[in-house]
Amino acid sequence: MLLILRSWPVFIYALSISVESILIEPLTTTLSIPPIVISAVSITVAGILLLLTSTLLYRRNKITTVASTSSLIFSKSKRNLLYASVSLAVGILTWYDSISRVGASKEVLLAGPLEIILIVILAYIFLREKLDKTQVIGIGVTIIGFFLAIISDISYNNSDFFFSLNHYSVVTFGDIEAIISSLGFAIGVLFLTKLVSIHSPLEVAGASLFVSGLMLIGLLIVFVSIFQQQVSPYIQVSMLVSPVVIIALSLFAWLPFVGALFYSIGLSRLGAALTGTIGSSSIFLTLVLQLALNESGVLYSNLPQNILLAGLGSMIGFIGIFIIHMHDHAYCFWKRTNN
């Protein structure tokens, strides 16, 4: 019961990630807002809100001055912040664009498990962290879930399944974007880990999202200059200043803010391993929510054609992530019993 009470912020984080992923698709299809615009606006606003929240909390606790709170991470850790922000910008943009192509469920099914695998492997290579048998088993299980997610978009009808498999592009461009997204987030996590060891999780989240948002805004300006007052060959800039679009983006920006805020709270309460394990429930939660919305007719969105494989892939992927994170809990148990 105590664990549930302490972990509720992480469940809110998982829910916000799922809702954010699901709503990206109607923003791009119904309102015709390009993913670059959604990501640039929402991530920048979320970063500003997080920095303001961090400043208000520091002021209330009288830990430091407002000026030093807002500038310390930018001056003391600017290199790691820059690397983390570049990686996150790539991860966020490809995440949003992938959802506009393959749907929220498949993107999360692909990127979620793969991101954890890449984090473990990159930490082993660059941070010299040990890779034990438990993590290897977890990686193997997670890879199975990943490949089930890849083929979940192939319809099957008994004998026609193998025909479809041979005549269908198993890995689409949206799938590749999801893979790039997971790599971007995984690299970003390595630098964020260094930042969190010096600064508060909330301050790190706000600064990294803010800088990432500014980078995406810069990229958006480049796109507009290339396409001559167009965000893309078919989207005019004038189409994006309508009241409906402005309100939609303003409301949507609260989702990454809420997600990052409660992730930071969960990280400080539970640690990285348990926060990552509970947070990965968004893999299965996204599929369930999207399926419920489609069946009820509230919001139609792109679902994997093979729901059975998608559901199986999400469950296996979650189990694999759980096994990977068991490494930290097993180490703590071993350390306690040997003292």
Query: Using one digit for the tens of pLDDT, what is the confidence trace for 97-132?
Result: 999 888 888 899 888 888 888 888 888 888 777 778
Q: What is the pLDDT of residues 252-267, one digit of tens each?
A: 999 999 999 998 888 7
Tokens 């393959």 sit on residue: 102
**Does residue 312 carry a pLDDT above 50?**
yes
How is 49-93 classified by DSSP, letter by letter?
HHHHHHHHHHHHHT-S-HHHHHHHHHHHSHHHHHHHHHHHHHHHH
Each domain of the chain, given as residue ranges in start order, spans 2-132+167-302+325-337
Pairing relationship of beta strands 230-232 and 235-236 according to DSSP bridges: antiparallel
Model pLDDT, residue 158: 44
Model pLDDT, residue 234: 54
Asked if 12 and 258 count as a contact pair (C-beta separation under 8 A), the reply is yes
CA–centroid distance for 54 within its chain: 21
Q: Which pair of tokens denotes residue 130?
A: 């040990």
SS3 229: coil
Average pLDDT estimate for 18-27: 93
